[in-house]
Amino acid sequence: MEKEIGNLNDLFFSEHQGRVYRFLIESLEKPLFRKVLSLTNGNQMQASRVLGINRNTLRAKLKKLGIIT
């Protein structure tokens, strides 16, 4: 992962100044959660274990991201 971050150019950081962390998290969370849910056949309890977060936290994030209603 460090290599991928190293590949981000200076323009990226200047364009997203003050928002780099938020931008990257928002860009990665949705595809990450979709992938883990796919691997666990939609089982949120298993997905939360894989991710290392509480199931309620996962559920809240899934709702926020529009993955579940």
Longest dimension (CA), the chain: 39
pLDDT grade for 15, boundaries at 50, 70 and 90: confident
Is 25 inside a domain boundary?
Answer: yes
State both tokens at 61: 């994030």
pLDDT reported for residue 1: 66
Helices 55-64, 20-39: axis angle to 10 degrees equals 110
Q: How many domains does the chain have?
A: 1
Query: Is pLDDT above 90 for 66?
Result: yes
Tell me the residue range of the domain where 37 lies. 2-64
Is 69 inside a domain boundary?
Answer: no
Query: Is pLDDT above 80 for 14?
Result: yes
Residue whose C-alpha is closest to residue 36's, from 12, 52, 19, 25: 52
Q: What is the mean pLDDT of the chain?
A: 90
Give the CATH number, domain containing residue 19: 1.10.10.60
pLDDT reported for residue 37: 98
* pTM score, whole prediction: 0.76
